[in-house]
Amino acid sequence: MGLDVNERIIIPDENGEEHLFETLFTFEVDETNKSYVAVIPVEQSDAEQVDVYAFRYEVGEDNEDDLTLFEIESDEEWEIVEEMLHTIAEEDDLK
């Protein structure tokens, strides 16, 4: 799939500054037929409350290490992703 749980990736912000994130999980959404990743800033990985960020991603056809992240721009797509994030979070709380 291209990304593994706990894998660390660097994501530049809108100012070009690079930030290190840790992958929480990846998931596919049937309604959009796209792949998504949830990440947290590494500096928050041990904190009790963390900021979770989600991106749509695509893996290169020839190279699984060729990963492109896309911001989620439409409200409809964000609602679907948010619902999935809540579902996964609830499942983790039950463990």
- Dist. CA 84–CA 56, nearest whole Å: 13
In a domain, 26, yes or no: yes
Angle at 26 between CA 1 and CA 13, to 5 degrees: 100
pLDDT at res. 63:
67
In a domain, 69, yes or no: yes
Structural domain boundaries enclosing 49: 8-94
pLDDT at 65 over 70: no
51 residue type, one letter: D
Which pair of structure tokens corresponds to residue 16?
């070009």
The pLDDT tens digits of the residues spanning 21-40 come to: 999 889 888 888 899 999 99
41 residue type, one letter: P
Higher pLDDT, 36 or 6: 36
Number of domains in the chain: 1
Q: What is the mean pLDDT of residues 75-94?
A: 82
In a domain, 1, yes or no: no
In a domain, 2, yes or no: no
pLDDT at 1 over 50: no
